[in-house]
Amino acid sequence: MKFFDTYHVVFVYAAKLQLLEEKKKKTFLFCTRINIFYPKKTIASHAISRSKEQKNKFYLVLCSFIRIFAAYFGFVIMRKNVIILALGLAAVMPAKAQWTHYDTQSTISGVFGAINHTIESAERKKQMEIHAKEKAEYEQSFKDAMESAKDYEGGEYWEDALNKYEEAAKLNCNYGYTDQQQISRKISELYVKAGRTEDGPSILNNAKVTLPDYSKYRYVRENPVYVNKKNTNTKILRVACSDTETRLEMEVEAGGVNSRWNVKGQAYIKGNKGGKKQLVSVENIVMAPATVKIPWPYQKLRFALIFEALPEEAKEFDFIEPSTSWQFKDIKCK
């Protein structure tokens, strides 16, 4: 965070602690006003009320420390609300209460918490200002990339169009110029037209997940009915059950740039008849800890999970991946 970028000079009139002894053994606490001068603006008029029958001198020292500490941080980070809050905490301390170690810890913790919150707020504000400046700076680059991509696409230069759309997508994901979903959809279409291929699990191999023939399965259902109480961007596209295996074809949609996906080897299914059935193999996805990358938000990866066979009398089952949002219940299989 950059200091002294808003105000020029801060003059702090240090707080003065005066302890006056009177005949009746009463102690009065005075504090001179703390004046902080900003250009064309003055923050002032904070005074600590009197304290009667002071039983713990450490309390007085602590109050003074808080005022001076707040004044110092006002000088460093130029945030008048820190001073107001810290002085307020000192002012509202119970004058007649017996001051304890717990009170000391609570007060200091509260002051430091307020200061940290103020510093974090200032840093966030600074980051927002930087982001807004960069967004304006790169907006023309985004527009140029989109215009070039459309020109290349119109001339059927698929590879060049794809590169320009991806260039625009990178800027858009950083600064949010337009609907990213449309750009991601265009990129996915151009993968096919440009002839992009990739060995192993990839969004380029989604079509391979769908089998050409499902006749070996006794039960096949597209878009099966199920319950999923967890918030997830994954859905089940097809269930296929045979005497040798249970096949789940699924689809996940990326929520960010270069999102990574896998499946845990501990994933299982459990029917209403019979016990847990273990994961046997996968298609177009990998077992943890390895991952498959989805480049852009809203792009989709299709994959298949093959489990041990469910009993023939099973009517529904659950698919569970422990400690994740993949908690699909009551999947119909008959």
Q: Of 43, 71, 99, which closes a domain? A: 99
How many domains does the chain contain in total? 3
**265 and 308: one domain?**
yes
Q: Give burial (CB, 10 Å; 0-12/13-18/19+) of 310.
A: buried
Global model pTM greater than 0.85 = no
pLDDT digits (tens, 9 = 90+) for 54-93: 445 555 556 555 555 555 555 444 455 555 555 555 554 5
Q: Tokens in use for 234?
A: 């994954």
Amino acid in position 178: T
Q: What digits encode the pLDDT tens for the residues 45-62?
A: 343 444 444 445 555 556
> Are 187 and 222 in the same domain?
no
Does residue 236 fall inside a structural domain? Answer: yes
* Contact by Cβ (8 Å): 331, 272: no
Which residue has tokens 């230069």? 157
Residue 271 lies in a domain: yes
- The CA distance from 35 to 204, in Å, is 67
Half-sphere exposure (CA, 13 Å, Cβ side) for 20? 9
Query: What is the per-residue pLDDT across 283-301, written as a single tens digit (0 to 9) for each?
Result: 999 999 999 999 999 999 9
Length of the chain: 334
Contact between 316 and 246 under an 8 Å Cβ cutoff? The reply is: no
Tokens 């991946």 sit on residue? 321
Its domain, for residue 282, covers: 207-332
Element of type H or E holding 241: strand 234-241
Angle of helix 80-91 relative to helix 101-154, nearest 10 degrees? 150
Q: 182 and 225 share a domain?
A: no
Instruction: Please write the tens of the pLDDT for every residue from 251-260.
Output: 999 999 999 9
Beta strands in 129-198 (DSSP E): none
Report if residue 65 sits inside a domain. Answer: yes
